[in-house]
Amino acid sequence: MAPFDLTELADELGDGVLVTDADVVRSYSADQALFCPADGAIALVRARTVADVQATMRFATRHRVPVVPQGARTGLSGGANAVPGCLLLSLERMDRVLEVDAAERTVTVEPGIINQDLKDALAPHGLSYPPDPGSVAISSIGGNVATNAGGLCCVRYGVTRDYVRRLRVVLADGTLTTLGTTTAKGVAGLDLRSLFVGSEGTLGVVVEVTLRLVPTLPEPLTAVATFADIRSAAATVADLMASGAQPSLVESMDRATLQVLAECGYGDVGTGAGAMLLVQSDGSGSLEAAQAEVEALGRFAQAHGALDVAVSDDPADSAALVAMRRMAQPSFERWAQAHGGGQLLDDVCLPRTRLPEFYDRLETIRQESGLMIAVVAHAGDGNTHPSVFFDTSDPDSVARADAAFDAIMEVGLELGGTITGEHGVGHLKRRWLARELDEGSRRAHLAVKAALDPLGILNPGKMLAEL
Amino acid sequence: MAPFDLTELADELGDGVLVTDADVVRSYSADQALFCPADGAIALVRARTVADVQATMRFATRHRVPVVPQGARTGLSGGANAVPGCLLLSLERMDRVLEVDAAERTVTVEPGIINQDLKDALAPHGLSYPPDPGSVAISSIGGNVATNAGGLCCVRYGVTRDYVRRLRVVLADGTLTTLGTTTAKGVAGLDLRSLFVGSEGTLGVVVEVTLRLVPTLPEPLTAVATFADIRSAAATVADLMASGAQPSLVESMDRATLQVLAECGYGDVGTGAGAMLLVQSDGSGSLEAAQAEVEALGRFAQAHGALDVAVSDDPADSAALVAMRRMAQPSFERWAQAHGGGQLLDDVCLPRTRLPEFYDRLETIRQESGLMIAVVAHAGDGNTHPSVFFDTSDPDSVARADAAFDAIMEVGLELGGTITGEHGVGHLKRRWLARELDEGSRRAHLAVKAALDPLGILNPGKMLAEL
């Protein structure tokens, strides 16, 4: 029996906030990562208010209970998964827009709001919040802040951190604090606000977020180029970005991805195509500038032997092509279900110029593993997402998938990249974080963690567990 | 006598790196802030290499000697000033460009390089590093990183932090570590890189900086509007920014500033003008977009009773107007020399919509103090720089200036702003930092500081000294 009484916590929370029903607790115990443990939660707190979060953290501090903060549990690294003896602290019910300040171009929200819901709420104001992770329709702003989420438009518009002005955070001991300022500029003190962005629930619980906004993004031109192989597509991207172009979206899909999409009925680009490049340019609102960039893409693509290049200024075409790209992951999931069930999704970010070499190295890994590996990439940022497919019922297949997954990160580091561009470390890559960081950085990480969470109760066993 | 022997340090450093000549040490003992102590340095280390910096920090750790890292000592808050018994650690000799990577659009530099020298080195590559503090011609990139420096183009292009990809930092004990990644995206671990940006030498010594770059910025259109009073100019700015415009520069000067500039021979906008607004728009390269923004400015200015609005697309005109704005501070210095010698330069950043109210409140402070107060502002960011002029030989004048300086920050906080938008805290505003931060944030600041500098040897008595 636990050395504390949960009714003590229940009494401090609003009605129905503390959930101990085992089935419900279990249903909140994992995000979307594979191969990450998720057992042992003792209860679920479905916070409705900042006071609920503070009471939870005060209780956790008193009794040294681990707390796992959660948003929409759409993460891909196990960062929101239960750990033994923990309280799951869900922020999904705190999902209000608190203030849209059109004059200052900021919005203040609770962390549980879904990214797309925020975008929809801003549209009538002529304002936009650009970051658009693949999970845009299902992931929460709090989760986006916790992982410093990226997305498709980052190549032009940056990542979550670039938009966070101010955070309200509940610290490990339950203290509520404000980090940063809503003003356009501000350098009063250490940038603890940025430190919390991407900290994956290991330093505190974000309970309010003020985001900088931009005017509604201009409609882009969309270009599609197909190639015989992904290497040519990657070389085209490297040339395009080195030319000074500033496209608003540069996505690539390899042969395996195109095949899975075609099999699932989400688009067929023809049998000859071994790769597809999807590029958008909004020219910052200038059609002329957008046309110039799209034409530049065409030239680079031709120089690298493109099979076909097509351009459209029809928003419906554009939306359909981006939708096709966004169907890659759901298609992978369907394909995996039909072929042994396993998909390990990687997230290696590389210098763009190393992309062709990366694909060469990946081909070797594919051959050695004997597994299907399909790669979509936010290619303009060098951020690749190789998926390794395997048979979950075959230990040998699982082992080969695991080895391939690791080999991909190893190549990423060798080529000057990072083990995670946008998905985060969570449980899945904690061992690899220790590989990427040098000794001084590892020590600094642990020192900062101990400073802000001296009892080690915030999301233990995750990001920082193997440093 | 000090309980250690400096020859022990000299032996570990390159030839001529350790300087103990009292006159030289004194000449390196202060930045450009007023009212900040700067006595007591025991020696100056003019580092040439990372190894020099490491040796200095190892020595400082062994003997618990305070270390004050310095760039070009152009700061305005006393952050680079000597403290009793300290080693001054100057990075000015480490001023090389290590690598321009045009394909990745990054540059790696040593910290001592002057911002403008970096810009000049990048121009032949068709690349630009946007941040342009008023001190662009004299301040170093390391100093810009230490203060998260802003500038004139921030309203469109952001501040130093938005461009820092990777830092190499020597920690308090001499350990060299790499924070961040050169790739476009990366979320491996805590964002210690951003934590170090703006940390004013209190957490470690930055010895290498990799910056993200953008293609050469387009030539802007420039508009000048004059008004009878600064309140009308401020209201124009608030309307312009609320309209969704994205100008690349929005600077305002009040009546006192225009008078000082005229007296110093740097431009005379006519006797009726009580305020001037200087706005640039580059339309992201689209002349049409730039024209639309400049026309919008004209409409808002007329609605607020502008005396005159003029537009130019001549780069020479544009350069002359920006040069006039950049002469404000040198003119203030000359004017102060001729009128009692004292100028206290403040740096309050406000929500843009509160600018008119801020100027009203400032008028009251001006009347109560009986002193001249002149205000230039990066108005598009709400970042105001009120200068309080006083007679250094008159204790009453000094006291009134001090009170006015404080009152300005008090109003800034009351209106939802911050005590420093870009100059930093240093020694000058350390008491005010304690006012701005809440209790949880103050404790978090001290915990993080203790975690990374357990002996308290890095720039003690500055930013964090009164939390």
Q: Is it the case that residue A1 has pLDDT exceeding 60?
A: no
Of B45, B88, B61, nearest to B4 by C-alpha is: B61
- HSE of A355, CA atoms in CB hemisphere, 13 A: 36
Chain B residue numbers touching A188 (CB-CB < 8 A):
418-420, 425, 429, 433, 436-437
Tell whether B183 lies on the interface with A, counting CB pairs under 8 A: yes
Check residue A313 and give its pLDDT.
86
Tell whether B174 lies on the interface with A, counting CB pairs under 8 A: no
Tell whether B124 lies on the interface with A, counting CB pairs under 8 A: no
Residue from B50, B163, B187, B197 to probe the interface with A (highest A Cβ count within 10 Å): B187
CA–CA distance, B347 with B273 (Å, rounded to integer): 24
H or E stretch at A281: strand A275-281
User: Model confidence over B69-81: pLDDT tens digits?
Assistant: 999 999 999 999 9
Q: Give the three-state DSSP class for B81.
A: coil
How far the first Cα of chain A sits from its last, in Å, is: 31
As given in the structure block, the two tokens for residue A325 are 């790209």
Interface of A with B in 206-245 (CB under 8 A): 214-216, 238, 241-242, 244
Chain B residue numbers touching A445 (CB-CB < 8 A):
189-190, 192
Tell whether A440 lies on the interface with B, counting CB pairs under 8 A: yes
In terms of phi and psi (left: phi > 0; alpha: psi -120 to 50; beta: otherwise), the region of B372 is: beta
As given in the structure block, the two tokens for residue B215 are 């293609």
Work out the pLDDT band at A2, boundaries 50, 70, 90: low
CA–CA distance, A245 with B43 (Å, rounded to integer): 49
CA–CA distance, A315 with A221 (Å, rounded to integer): 8
Q: Is it the case that residue A131 has pLDDT exceeding 70?
A: yes
CA distances from A273 to A317, A330, A376 (A): 20, 21, 15
CB A54 within 8 A of CB A170: yes
User: Model confidence over A49-59: pLDDT tens digits?
Assistant: 999 999 999 99
Quote the ipTM score: 0.97
Which chain B residue's Cα is nearest to A175? B440
Chain A residue numbers touching B101 (CB-CB < 8 A):
351
Cβ of A288: how many Cβ atoms within 10 Å?
Answer: 12
Mean pLDDT of B159-163: 97
- Residue contact A104–B351, C-beta within 8 A: yes
Which chain B residue's Cα is nearest to A409? B188
Which chain A residue's Cα is nearest to B423? A187
Residue found under tokens 């493109």: A306
Q: Give the three-state DSSP class for B314.
A: coil
CB A352 within 8 A of CB A380: yes
A279 to chain B nearest CA, in Å? 17
Specify burial of residue B337 (Cβ count, 10 A radius: 0-12, 13-18, 19+): exposed
Check residue A266 and give its pLDDT.
86
B439 to chain A nearest CA, in Å? 7
Specify burial of residue A323 (Cβ count, 10 A radius: 0-12, 13-18, 19+): exposed
**Packing angle of the helix pair B230-242, B287-303 (nearest 10 deg):** 130
Which residues make Cβ contacts (< 8 Å) with residue A288, sequence separation at least 6? B286
Residue from A178, A190, A431, A441 to probe the interface with B (highest B Cβ count within 10 Å): A190
Check residue B63 and give its pLDDT.
97
Work out whether strand A67-70 and strand A43-46 pair parallel, antiparallel, or are unpaired: unpaired
Give A179's DSSP letter: E
- Residue contact A190–B199, C-beta within 8 A: yes
Residue found under tokens 């802000």: A452
Of A320, A333, A231, A223, nearest to A274 by C-alpha is: A231
Q: Give the three-state DSSP class for A63.
A: helix
- Residue contact B420–A350, C-beta within 8 A: no
- Residue contact B190–A445, C-beta within 8 A: yes
The Cα angle at residue B65 between residues B63 and B71, in degrees rounded to 5 = 140
As given in the structure block, the two tokens for residue B314 are 């001549």
Number of helices (H) and strands (E), helices first, in chain B? 16, 19
CA–CA distance, B306 with B303 (Å, rounded to integer): 7
Q: Give the three-state DSSP class for A164.
A: strand
CA–CA distance, B281 with B303 (Å, rounded to integer): 20
CB B437 within 8 A of CB A189: yes
Q: Which residues pair with B308 in a beta bridge?
A: B226
CA distances from A280 to A72, A230, A246, A290, A379 (A): 29, 19, 10, 8, 12
- Residue contact A189–B417, C-beta within 8 A: no
Which chain B residue's Cα is nearest to A464? B189
H or E stretch at A338: helix A328-338
Cβ of A50: how many Cβ atoms within 10 Å?
Answer: 16
As given in the structure block, the two tokens for residue B383 are 């970042």
Work out the pLDDT band at B341, boundaries 50, 70, 90: very high
Tell whether B3 lies on the interface with A, counting CB pairs under 8 A: no
Mean pLDDT of B223-248: 95
Mean pLDDT value across chain B: 96
Chain A residue numbers touching B452 (CB-CB < 8 A):
444, 447-448
Tell me the one-letter amino acid at B225: A
- Residue contact B188–A155, C-beta within 8 A: no
Work out whether strand A106-109 and strand B221-227 pair parallel, antiparallel, or are unpaired: unpaired
Q: Is it the case that residue B14 has pLDDT exceeding 80?
A: yes
User: Model confidence over A68-110: pLDDT tens digits?
Assistant: 999 999 999 999 999 999 999 999 999 999 999 999 999 999 9
CB B302 within 8 A of CB B309: yes
Interface of B with A in 82-101 (CB under 8 A): 101
Work out the pLDDT band at B1, boundaries 50, 70, 90: very low
- Residue contact B195–A195, C-beta within 8 A: yes
Check residue B189 and give its pLDDT.
98
Q: Is it the case that residue A189 has pLDDT exceeding 90?
A: yes
**Packing angle of the helix pair B439-452, A439-452 (nearest 10 deg):** 150
Fold of the domain built from segment(s) B97-215: 3.30.465
Mean pLDDT of B269-291: 88
Chain B residue numbers touching A192 (CB-CB < 8 A):
195, 441, 444-445, 448
A223 to chain B nearest CA, in Å? 21
User: Model confidence over B82-139: pLDDT tens digits?
Assistant: 999 999 999 999 999 999 999 999 999 999 999 999 999 999 999 999 999 999 999 9
Tell whether B150 lies on the interface with A, counting CB pairs under 8 A: yes
CB A349 within 8 A of CB A384: yes
- In this complex, which of B190, B215, B433 lies closest to A448 when CB atoms are compared? B190
* Range with the poorest average pLDDT among A43-57, A312-326, B180-194: A312-326
Work out whether strand A373-378 and strand A383-391 pair parallel, antiparallel, or are unpaired: antiparallel
Residue from A185, A250, A286 to probe the interface with B (highest B Cβ count within 10 Å): A185
Of B318, B236, B239, nearest to B277 by C-alpha is: B236
- In this complex, which of A285, A440, A448 lies closest to B289 when CB atoms are compared? A285
Work out the pLDDT band at B282, boundaries 50, 70, 90: very high
A448 to chain B nearest CA, in Å? 6
User: Model confidence over A417-463: pLDDT tens digits?
Assistant: 999 999 999 999 999 999 999 999 999 999 999 999 999 999 999 99
Q: Give the three-state DSSP class for A363.
A: helix
The Cα angle at residue B354 between residues B351 and B357, in degrees rounded to 5 = 155
Tell whether A124 lies on the interface with B, counting CB pairs under 8 A: no
- Residue contact B184–A450, C-beta within 8 A: no
Q: Give the three-state DSSP class for A446.
A: helix
User: Model confidence over A221-267: pLDDT tens digits?
Assistant: 999 999 999 999 999 999 999 999 999 999 999 999 999 999 998 87
CA–CA distance, A159 with A149 (Å, rounded to integer): 6
Which residues make Cβ contacts (< 8 Å) with residue B291, sequence separation at least 6? B221, B283
Q: What is the Cα Rg of chain A in Å?
A: 22
Mean pLDDT of A195-220: 97
Q: Which CATH class is domain A6-90?
A: alpha beta
Superfamily of segment(s) B221-415: FAD-linked oxidases, C-terminal domain (3.40.462.10)
**Long-range contacts of A361-367, Cβ-Cβ distance < 8 Å, separation of 24 or more:** A361/A411, A361/A415, A362/A386, A362/A408, A362/A411, A365/A404, A365/A407, A365/A408, A365/A411, A366/A404
Work out whether strand A87-90 and strand A43-46 pair parallel, antiparallel, or are unpaired: parallel
B400 to chain A nearest CA, in Å? 24
Of B248, B410, B393, B220, nearest to B318 by C-alpha is: B220
Of B300, B416, B425, nearest to B361 by C-alpha is: B416
Work out the pLDDT band at B271, boundaries 50, 70, 90: low
* Range with the poorest average pLDDT among A279-293, B184-198, B201-215, B263-277: B263-277
Tell whether B285 lies on the interface with A, counting CB pairs under 8 A: yes
H or E stretch at A287: helix A287-303
- In this complex, which of A126, A188, A423 lies closest to B419 when CB atoms are compared? A188
Q: How many CB pairs under 8 A join A and B?
A: 296
Tell whether A445 lies on the interface with B, counting CB pairs under 8 A: yes
Q: What are phi and psi of B317, to 5 degrees?
A: -55, -50
Q: What are phi and psi of B320, to 5 degrees?
A: -65, -40
Check residue B399 and give its pLDDT.
97
Interface of B with A in 290-309 (CB under 8 A): none
A71 to chain B nearest CA, in Å? 18
Mean pLDDT value across chain A: 96
Q: Name the residue ranges covered by the structural domains of chain A.
A: 6-90, 97-215, 221-415
CA distances from A331 to A292, A296, A404 (A): 34, 31, 21
